[in-house]
Amino acid sequence: MSEVYVSTDIETDGPIPGENSILSLGSVAFDANGVEFASFEINFEALPGAAPNPKTMEWWRTQPEAWAAARKDPVEPKAAMARYLAWVDKLPGDPVFVAYPLLFDMMFVYWYLIRFCGRSPFSHSGIDIKTMAYAAMGSESYRGAAKRNMPKHWKPPRNRHTHVAIEDAREQGRLFFNIRAALREQVAGTEAGQKGTP
């Protein structure tokens, strides 16, 4: 297996790492054919010296079930990241971080990996699902390439963003492979058209 696609979702208590903390992390590993073969989930204790963002906590009060899931059996951050790094390192291929949005999730995970483990097994390899959708939809607006505007057949049958990290990671991974398939069909159609041109 040359590459492993690690669809990842995090839940946090604020917008930036260091000042705010990861609450929960979920990753689902897929092979190149889109078959899930491993998963990882863990909840975190807050970073020492960090503080929850008031606006984020106001939002969390509207999500009691997800909050309860993210606060069950939290682990100290260094120990949590050591477990995560060991899991990623055992995957049978080069890991590629996949997220929606990549900027937010990978920013936190990369910061935690470097801070507590000294390295990132992903290096700088990451795929933003929304950017893929933007390309596949031929959208004039990046912001217009939101999930609500995506073709229904791209979305997994039970596509519901629960804000439970492992559930969202799994659904987003399936979305990633559906969009990748659409892009490949477009490329194949373009190549077929070029071959048929005199």
Residue 160 has pLDDT above 90, yes or no: no
3-state DSSP assignment of residue 36: strand
Going edge to edge, which strands form the sheet with 36-43? 36-43, 22-30, 3-12, 94-99, 126-128
Residue 192 has pLDDT above 70, yes or no: no
Q: What pLDDT shows up at residue 140? A: 85
**Rounded to an integer, what distance in angstroms lies between the CA atom of residue 22 and that of residue 16?**
9
Q: What is the mean pLDDT of the chain?
A: 93
Query: How many helical (H) and strand (E) elements, i.e. helices and strands, does the chain have?
Result: 6, 5
Q: What's the sign of the alpha-carbon dihedral 114, 120, 124, 128? A: negative
Rounded average pLDDT over 135-155: 90
> Residue 102, Cβ neighbours under 10 Å: how many?
17
- CATH of residue 148's domain is 3.30.420.10
Q: What pLDDT shows up at residue 139? A: 83
With bands split at pLDDT 50, 70 and 90, how would you rate the model's confidence at 133? very high
3-state DSSP assignment of residue 125: coil
Residue 150 contacts residue 137 (beta carbons within 8 Å): yes
Beta-bridge partners for 9: 26
Q: What pLDDT shows up at residue 187? A: 84
Higher pLDDT, 12 or 191: 12
| Backbone dihedral angles phi then psi of residue 113, each to the nearest 5 degrees | -60, -45
**Rounded to an integer, what distance in angstroms lies between the CA atom of residue 12 and that of residue 23?**
5
Residue 166's H or E segment, with its range, is helix 165-195
Residue 85 contacts residue 183 (beta carbons within 8 Å): no
Q: What residue numbers bound the domain in which 138 lies?
A: 3-195
Q: How far is CA 172 from CA 48, 67, 129, 153, in A?
A: 31, 20, 8, 14
Residue 101 contacts residue 7 (beta carbons within 8 Å): no
- pLDDT tens digits for range 69-126: 999 999 999 999 999 999 999 999 999 999 999 999 999 999 999 999 999 999 999 9
Residue 74 contacts residue 27 (beta carbons within 8 Å): no
Least confident residue range of 69-83, 117-131, 134-148, 183-197: 183-197
Q: What pLDDT shows up at residue 159? A: 60
Residue 107's H or E segment, with its range, is helix 102-117
Percent of the chain scoring above 70 in pLDDT? 93
Number of domains present in the structure of the chain: 1
With bands split at pLDDT 50, 70 and 90, how would you rate the model's confidence at 44? very high
Residue 197 has pLDDT above 80, yes or no: no
